[in-house]
Amino acid sequence: MTNLLDTGIRNARNVDRYIFGQGAIGELADIINLRRNTQKDQVVFLIDEYFEVCPSIVDQLPFEANDQLYYVSTQDEPTTFSVDKLTDEVMSNGDGDVCAIVGMGGGSVLDTAKALSNLLTNGGCASDYQGWDLVKVPGVFKIGIPTISGTGAEATRTCVMTNKESGLKLGMNSDHTVFDQLILDPGLTVTVPRTQYFFSGMDAWIHCIEALSGSYRNPVGDAFSTQAIDLCRDVFGDGNMRSDRNRAKLMVASYLGGCAIATSYVGVVHPFSAGLSVVLGLHHCEANCIAMMAMESFYPKEYREFIKFVEMNEINIRSGVCEGLSDSQFNTLFQSTIVHEKPLTNALGDEFRTVLTESRVRELFERM
């Protein structure tokens, strides 16, 4: 059997189609109309709750009388419970008629759209598909419209969900999870608050610095990562990270960063970030930035660049988030970090447990 780890990539699936450009959202009606037919004419719109108070955007969307519209709360990141609940609602409102799903929002909304699409055609519940290649058949046609840049959720073959019962933060890793269509419209990120914009954008940068520092390398992943990092440097080293030009660049960096981690792995930052999300409920992109503050020993050069971005854009990263936690909470933090074997092996080798002992992991969390 060919060993692709050093030189190549698995048989990768990309997003089928994408439109990029200011005003691209105007194409949505035509794309949807190609999917509507006499048997199935219902579209499910999942919209970030942020837009509930922004009628100027939502009023432009091509709703028909029979469509379903849900505002997705982003207070908490998706859980297997929230996905199952939504799927039940969509089904009870006529799942047999659904011809397309539109997910418009940040990473949580995009991931929810992907999970819903898979569940409507595969049956069962969300936790049945947490893992690798467990989704059997293609989901409902799904369109992703990111309204904040960085997570790469628009490009990846997973949809991250926390299973509160098992404590597992894991997605449906499957070719069927990849969006069929993307609409990348930088005009949609104009209202993103600056701190959120920074945290989210840094997710793209972190994906790529972790991938390039790992041992599972290949020229395809490296090319995506290098280009995305260059774009992030333009955006966050410019002094006006949210200019029209920089928002367009960051939207592309996010997409390329998503492609990068689909062809390689992340490293030490994401497992620690996942620990913070599971135990403290911190959102992924902020948790990454908090974790990054304790990563100097693993990524010295990148740490310095990160600090430069933080200072230049006058961002306040919370500190002391683990102050006052109990021993049992620190143990849970340790467990929910160390469980991410693939990225940790990528970053530190097979013997990563000898580096990340329980006391070392606790010490790092105490620094955040």
Q: Nearest residue to Fe ion, using CB?
A: 203
Query: How far apart are CB 158 and Fe ion at their closest, in Å?
Result: 11
Choose between 203 and 302: whose C-beta lies nearer to Fe ion.
203
Binding span for Fe ion by CB under 5 A among 67-75, 201-209, 247-255, 349-357: 201-209
Q: Which is nearer to Fe ion, 98 or 202 (CB)?
A: 202
Nearest CB to Fe ion, comparing residues 84 and 203 = 203
The answer to whether 203 contacts Fe ion (rule: CB under 5 A) is: yes
**CB nearer to Fe ion: pick between 90 and 287:** 287
Judged by beta carbon, residue 67 or residue 203, the one nearer Fe ion is 203
**Is 185 among the residues that bind Fe ion (CB under 5 A)?**
no
CA distance 275 to 329: 10
Interface with Fe ion (CB under 5 A), residue total 1
Binding region for Fe ion (CB under 5 A) out of 26-34, 62-70, 197-205, 315-323: 197-205
Site for Fe ion in 290-319 (CB under 5 A): none
Which of 130/273 has CB closer to Fe ion? 273
Q: How far is the CB of 284 from Fe ion (least distance, A)?
A: 6
Smallest separation (angstroms) from Fe ion to the CB of 185: 22
Position 286 contacts Fe ion (CB under 5 A): no
Question: Segment 119-178, which members bind Fe ion (CB under 5 A)?
Answer: none
Nearest distance from residue 98's CB to Fe ion, in Å?
A: 29
Q: Which is nearer to Fe ion, 249 or 284 (CB)?
A: 284
Positions that interact with Fe ion (CB under 5 A): 203
